Amino acid sequence: MIGPTVSSLLPLISMFRHFVWMYWLVISPLFLCHCLADEGGRIETGASTIADEYPLDWSGVGDQANQLRVSQRDGVVSFVALGNDPYFRFELPRLPATERDWILELEYFCPDGIRGIQWRSGRGIHRPAATALPSMPSAEGWTKYSFSLNALAPDVIGSDAEVPVRIDWGSRSGVQLQVRGVVVRPMNDVELRQRDEAAQRQLQKTALAERINDYRSRHWPAKTDSIDFDGERIQVAGTLSPSTVVRSAFLIARHPDSVSADPPTTAELSQRWPVTIDQDGRRWTARIDSPVGSSWLDAGVRFQLFQQTDNATTSTPTPISAARYRDLNPDAAVPPAKTLSAAKGLTCITSRFSPDQLRALGIQHASVNIVVSGLVSETARPGWEPFDIKGRTWWSNQSRLRQQDRDIRTATDAGAVVAGILLIPTSSRGRSPIAHPESTDAGTYAMPNLTDSQAVARYVAALHLLGQRYSGLHPEHGRVDHWIVHNEVDYGWQWTNMGEQPLEIFLDHYVRSIRLVDAATRPFNPHARAFISLTHRWNTTDNQHWKTYAPKAMLERLIQDSRLEGDFPWGVAYHPYPQSLWKADFWNDTQVSDDLETRLITIKNLQVLDRFMHLPTSRTVDGSVRPVICSEQGFHADEDDPKQLRTQAAALLLTWKKLRQCPSIIAFDYHRPSDHPDEGGLRLGLRGLPSQANPLGAEKPAWDVFSAIGTDREAEMIRRYQSEWEGDVGE
């Protein structure tokens, strides 16, 4: 699905292949060093000598620009974005293949900064998928910007002619950018060393991915069946396979900042609990006394069985079981939320809507963005309130929480079951302490940092605060029952950025994060459930290497990991947008099929996702079907285009007809209530763009249709709009 597996490649790699691979691996694209190529020198390639740089003149690109005003003065080229789709074209000179990567470098001045920069090159540059370039952090002085053409656009190297290039400058109108000194040059010695170090890190990641695959596929001689806490002690019990003879077995607690497939850390090995094996040699038990206040009850802790080899003083103990998470049996006095089936919902709920407006629409479900970073502090701050977790004091951001209360209460007071989407925004001005250390601002949001204990503690403190506050035990704050863990993780590079990672490493990290959310929320609300967020790219094969992944593969691995390390009640938050976000007529989608190998899952073939969720292998250990929320998807319609408005309204009606045939889908959150000016020109709202005269935007026909769904008026609406899809979609 995503090319050869790591396990199939590693045995074939000889020392020579290691060298070649190291040389050609994709490296970190953004070099922030301020070193120039050797002054006055030329680069020796072994066979010939090439120029040390090729200057690029962008002063005339205004003739090949879209929504850009371009001017030039004293060697400085100025760009002003005139719309939300600014781009220009230029010709790249012929670049010979060399030992060193070619670097495109410039200096820029841009107080606003630019994100979402894209590169297209070669023939037909209007059609191929774009390559994401590094973002330009805000710069109020002249700042260097550079990236490797070999890594990001290898098609431009070794061409026998000039290569046409198109660069898209984000999606914000009004941004002003100045550039100077635009050149293409071979990388200098500092960058060459960085490339080699990056290649070594790539090899280390490949080896870790192989260990994770081995851990997941191994036939373990021992199994952990249960881990229970009775208020005084932790009781662990398991079984041994018939052919297994165990000596000196002991239990170790694995912490959330460690990878189960790696050997335990020195700190983890410092505490061991002996294991008792029954007379038949088939059952084993272990007991951890007085765990209250210890780290053994912390969220994300799992237990693993080990056996010491004969040379106990020098050898690392051998794992004989997979790690397993503690069973949670919460008994908080919170009644369950109402049962949902194909419920109407909305995204982006804020207090600008009144509960009465949402009730009039018939909303039963709603999703609210929750920014996790900046919620807690390890030290006191003005206006922040202290709270304790296991004897440690943290401080909470009260102004942020009060705003969050208003949004969640709006939906709760309207009678909706609320989903909170947990987000960690990236920033060009500095990484949040809870953002993954390899995350870059190429992504809108980051994966949490689960690489060290302090970062984990901050993240867990924020989750604990949210889980307790919105458990339902404090009605004045509102209630959250569904916790959507990050955003569109299969498209991680943009929406849950963790840097470039193999699927195995990315998902291992993500699984630890979603389990932390489960462990921090369910003790306060036994009915809380965590959801994995995925795009419509179900089984797509055009993934960016170590940046994006197929949702089907991620779900299959999450299911396997849940069986391996202990099941927990997670669900799926799917985004079945149409094949093209610009076309609401999903019934005309062509990249879908009615089978589990379909490239995309849109509304047209939504039954495929429901079928997958009903597979015996997809269910929970007790046979229950895991729930699905269609938590973000909308239909584009410009409010000045009557045809698009009619198609949008029809799409809503056909969507609910499909939803009612998919019992695993409990809710559909339409994205969004009103059009937004910063969504790249998309007009997905049920209402138009907000204005001073109409803060919610003018109603589109879709608003009335949406309110009619599930009422006596729905049949009337179907008669009015069904000609849009009749004859184009099978039943």
pLDDT digits (tens, 9 = 90+) for 286-298: 999 877 778 888 8
> What is the Cα–Cα distance from 274 to 265, expressed in whole angstroms?
18
Kindly state the average pLDDT of the residues 480-487.
98
What's the CATH code of the domain at 242?
2.60.40
Residue 305 lies in a domain: yes
117-121 and 163-169 strand pairing? antiparallel
Distance CA(224)–CA(337), nearest Å, equals 32
Q: What is the CATH number of the domain that holds 162?
A: 2.60.120.260
Sign of CA dihedral 373, 377, 378, 379: positive
| Per-residue pLDDT tens over the stretch 134-145 | 888 877 788 889
Reading phi first (left if > 0) and then psi (alpha if -120 to 50, else beta), residue 3 is in: left
| Percentage with pLDDT > 70 across the chain | 90
- For residue 34, the SS3 value is coil
Residue showing tokens 């280390």: 204
Using an 8 Å Cβ cutoff, are 109 and 136 in contact?
Answer: no
Q: DSSP letter at 701?
A: H
Answer left, alpha or beta for residue 229, where phi above 0 means left and psi between -120 and 50 means alpha: beta
When divided into structural domains, the chain yields a total of 3
- Contacts of residue 291, Cβ cutoff 8 Å, sequence gap at least 6: 229, 233, 234, 297
| DSSP helix, strand, coil percent of the chain (3-state; round to 5) | 25, 25, 45
Q: What are the b/e assignments for 406-417, b being 16+ CB within 10 Å?
A: ebbbbbbebebb
What does pLDDT average to over the chain? Answer: 88
Together in a domain, 183 and 227: no
Q: What pLDDT does residue 529 have?
A: 97
The residue from 134, 166, 187 where one domain ends is 187
Instruction: For residue 211, give the H/E element and its range.
Output: helix 189-217
pLDDT at 52: 74
Pair (300, 247) in one structural domain: yes
> 423: which strand partners?
371
pLDDT in tens, 697-706: 999 999 999 9
On whether residue 703 sits in a domain, the answer given is yes
In the prediction, which pLDDT does 728 show? 56
Q: Tell me: do 46 and 136 sit in the same domain.
A: yes
* Structural domain includes residue 705: yes
Cα distance between residue 674 and residue 688, in whole Å: 6
Distance from chain centroid for Cα 656: 27
In a domain, 530, yes or no: no
> Last residue of a domain, which of 325, 360, 387?
325
| SS3 state at 651 | helix
Residue 702 falls within a domain, yes or no?
yes
Query: What SS3 class is residue 176?
Result: strand
Please name the amino acid found at residue 267: A
- Cβ atoms of 23 and 36 within 8 Å: the answer is no
Query: SS in 3 state form for 300-351?
Result: CCEEEEEECCCCCCCCCCEECCCCEECCCCCCCCCCCCCCCCCEEEECCCCC
Residues 173 and 253 in one domain: no
Residues 61 and 137 in one domain: yes
Together in a domain, 46 and 178: yes
Query: End of a domain among 290, 325, 360?
Result: 325
Residue 378 lies in a domain: no
Hey, CA dihedral for 697, 700, 702, 705, is it positive or negative? positive
Pair (51, 98) in one structural domain: yes
Say if 127 falls within a structural domain: yes
Judge whether 688 and 697 are in contact, CB under 8 Å.
Answer: yes
Tokens 């290497």 found at: 545
Same domain assignment for residues 83 and 183: yes
Quick one: CA dihedral 262, 268, 270, 273, positive or negative? negative
pLDDT at site 569: 94
Residue ranges in 379-471 assigned as alpha helix (H): 398-413, 453-469
pLDDT of residue 126: 56
- Residue 314 CA, chain-centre distance (Å), reads 41
pLDDT of residue 310: 61
pLDDT above 70 for 11? no
Is there a domain that residue 649 lies in? yes
In angstroms, the CA 708 to CA 714 distance is 5
Res 314: pLDDT: 53
Query: Residue 90: which of 58, 68, 66 has the closest Cα?
Result: 58
Q: What SS3 state is found at 578?
A: coil
Same structural domain, 183 and 41: yes
Q: Can you read off the two tokens belonging to residue 370?
A: 């929750």
Q: Is the model's pLDDT at 647 over the cut of 70?
A: yes
Distance CA 321, CA 242 (A): 14
Q: 10 Å Cβ neighbour count for 19? A: 12
Cα dihedral: 92, 98, 104, 105 (round 10) = -140
Question: What confidence tier does 311 reach under pLDDT thresholds 50, 70, 90?
Answer: low
Q: Rounded distance, CA 614 to CA 664, Å?
A: 8
Q: Is there a single domain that holds both residue 122 and residue 262?
A: no
446, 455 Cβ separation under 8 angstroms: no
Q: Which residue has the higher pLDDT, 516 or 349?
A: 516
Residue 406 has pLDDT above 90, yes or no: yes
730 and 655 together in one domain: yes
Quickly state the pLDDT bin for 7 (edges 50, 70, 90): very low
The band of 359, judged by pLDDT with boundaries at 50, 70 and 90, is very high
User: What average pLDDT score do residues 69-88 get?
Assistant: 94
pLDDT in tens, 179-233: 999 999 998 888 888 888 888 999 999 999 999 999 999 999 999 999 998 888 8
Range of the domain at 64: 36-187
- Does 16 score more than 50 pLDDT? no
Beta strands at 482-485 and 417-423: parallel, antiparallel or unpaired? parallel
Answer yes or no: do 603 and 711 share one domain: yes
For 267-281, how does the pLDDT look when each residue is reduced to its tens digit (9 = 90+)? 999 899 999 998 888
Helix 701-708 crosses helix 714-721 at what angle (to 10 degrees)? Answer: 140
